[in-house]
Structure 1
Amino acid sequence: MAARPRDIPDLYLAPVALDLDERLAQFEGRTDDEISHDLVLATNREPRGTGERAELALEAVTHLVDTHGWEVGWCPRGLRMSHDENELVLGVPESLRRYLADPAADAGR
């Protein structure tokens, strides 16, 4: 049986997921350099390694998005939204996945 909303954050699942998915879609087809440039513009910081790229990408994707109590973070399958025992994973464009996983990009920075 499908879980029913139990509180206000549960009711906001769809709008929050749609906002985050729209943000993720902006990275579709972008090169590593373009994504890096986008993250610098969005966060005013230059990523200095794989871990920091993931951190800044999360900051850029969630910037000005009211998550209404949903926690957002990376997982192996994509961008995980969680609240209490509920969770939803949004897919990540291949271009962003490649950028976040590419340790070779660290050598050029």
Structure 2
Amino acid sequence: MDAETWASIDKLVAWLDAKTTLAPEVELLLRLLKVSGEAGEVADAVDGVYGHNPRKGFTHTWEDVDRELCDVILTGMVALRSRNADAAKVFSGHLTKVLGRSLDSSAAWSAS
């Protein structure tokens, strides 16, 4: 992620911090839990794409799913930044590890 993206996340976190009336530890907990709520909205949108609920029918598009996925990513970034002031560094380090694991794994797989 670029610095501009994380600066935007910092603005969202500051805005949320200014609006809350909860104790900091409760606010953080709720931000962490919000990630699963947003993931549930992705599932609901996918259900709606396929018309899985016969009572509701076809209620969503793949573009709706994309928007919900973006909400999951943003909510995760806000939660990470709310928990750790070095969120950009933590995320970058984790991404590097995952890429290394994944790419090393796929190289070993294709060599078999």
Q: TM-score, normalised by structure 2?
A: 0.30
- Compare CA radii of gyration and give the structure with the larger one: 2
Q: Choose between structure 1 and 2: higher helix proportion.
A: 2
- TM-score, length basis structure 1: 0.30
Q: Which structure shows the higher strand fraction?
A: 1
